[in-house]
Amino acid sequence: MIMPRDPSKDGTSLNSQGTPTPHTEGLAKLQDRSAWLRRTLFDMVMRSRKGHIPSSFSCAETLLTLFYGGVLRYAHGAPNHPHRDRLIVSKGHAAMALYPILADIGYVPEEELENFTRKESLLRMYADPGIPGIDSITGSLGHGLGVAAGYALASRQDGRDQRAFAVLGDSECYEGSVWESALFGAHHGLDNLVTIVDRNGLAIMGQTEELLALDSLEEKFRAFGWHALSVDGHSYTALQSAFGQLGNTDGKPLAIIAQTVKGKGISFMENRSEWHNRMPDDEQEARARQDLQTNCITN
């Protein structure tokens, strides 16, 4: 399913410094995006029998807000634009959630969505910079924030106004390297560095608070010197408001703890850790498709 192309966005506008300006759509359109992205991802997974549906669905609104909600600076059809913002979906099993968006903005051919994970095709289950628009290899947890910090530091050293975004899983925050990167970002005052933690509360084997409590990630990032806040990660208005604090963080990097539901949009997958990488059978597929007819995002 391809989102109908909006001709107005072809030929991205640039500001006077040559920085691409973000693309902003209204709430109704964004809500349509939510339905479109979930259905497209579901189709990709059902066709290939590969991929991670629940993890992708929990960060869907985060990614859609970045690309269509007026946050990320990128140029349509120009994945290597020198002044683009950088984005790393560090929870690499959900990097596939980017692919329909990358096709929509002209980075990768749309037919590649149908080829997802097919032999010798472009789009892999996990992402790497061989795919246009991907700024880091992901799949092993705990790398993305550090690489993003490197991007942010280089941008500042070069006097460029580029930001670096890293979408982390909450369970990814078990990796100690995340906290090394958190120290680094705060020490260097990288206020052009943003992390969004997809706080869906689940690891593969159960709830994070039962496995090994992560407790308040907002307080942890704040204690590490970040400007941190928690928001409803399925609310465009809440996410846009949170991203709106970029540039107003008193010189601190920004941590947005997005409270989300793993599997959001497919009732029987929601909050169920066993669905991490399980494939629906025929009956479950029909139920899922029925669920996906209804838009689960209301604000």
- Rounded distance, CA 218 to CA 160, Å? 29
Residue 164: CB minimum distance to another protein, A: 7
Distance CA 52, CA 278 (A): 8
Question: Does the protein bind another protein through residue 159 (CB under 8 A)?
Answer: no
Is 18 a binding residue for another protein by CB under 8 A? The answer is: no
84: contact with another protein by CB under 8 A: no
- Taking residue 287's Cβ as centre, other Cβ atoms within 10 Å add up to 16
* Region 226-265 residues binding another protein, contact defined as CB under 8 A: none
Least distance from another protein to the Cβ atom of residue 123, Å: 17
CB 65 within 8 A of CB 271: no
With beta carbons less than 8 A apart as the criterion, state whether 151 and 145 touch.
Answer: no
Residue number with CB closer to another protein (184 or 221): 184
Distances 297 to 62, 174, 233, 236, 260 between C-alpha atoms, Å: 12, 29, 10, 9, 12
Residues written for the chain? 299
- Which of residues 33 and 84 has its CB atom nearest to another protein in the complex? 84
CA 223 to chain centre: 24
Dist CA 178 CA 246 (whole Å): 21
Q: Smallest distance from the beta carbon of 84 to another protein, in angstroms?
A: 12
- By beta-carbon proximity to another protein, the closer residue of 183 and 286 is 183
User: Quick one: which of 119, 120, 176, 282 contacts another protein (CB under 8 A)?
Assistant: 176
63 lies in the binding site for another protein (CB under 8 A)? no
> Closer CB to another protein, residue 149 or residue 297?
149
Report yes or no: 19 and 73 within 8 Å, Cβ to Cβ.
yes
Window 180 to 219, contacts with another protein (CB under 8 A): 180-181, 183-184, 187
CB-CB contact of 108 with 123 (8 Å): yes
Of 56, 7, 23, 1, whose CA–CA distance to 200 is shortest?
A: 56
Q: Which is nearer to another protein, 177 or 240 (CB)?
A: 177
Give yes or no for a contact between 194 and 254, defined as CB atoms under 8 angstroms apart: yes
Nearer to another protein, 32 or 135 (CB): 135
Specify the stretch interacting with another protein by CB under 8 A; choose among 16-24, 97-105, 144-152, 250-258. 144-152
Q: Which of residues 104-143 bind another protein (CB under 8 A)?
A: 128-129, 135-137, 139-140, 142-143
Distance CA 139, CA 128 (A): 9
CB closer to another protein, 94 vs 137: 137
Binding of another protein by 223 (CB under 8 A): no
Q: Which residues bind another protein (CB under 8 A)?
A: 86, 128-129, 135-137, 139-140, 142-143, 145-155, 157-158, 164, 176-177, 180-181, 183-184, 187
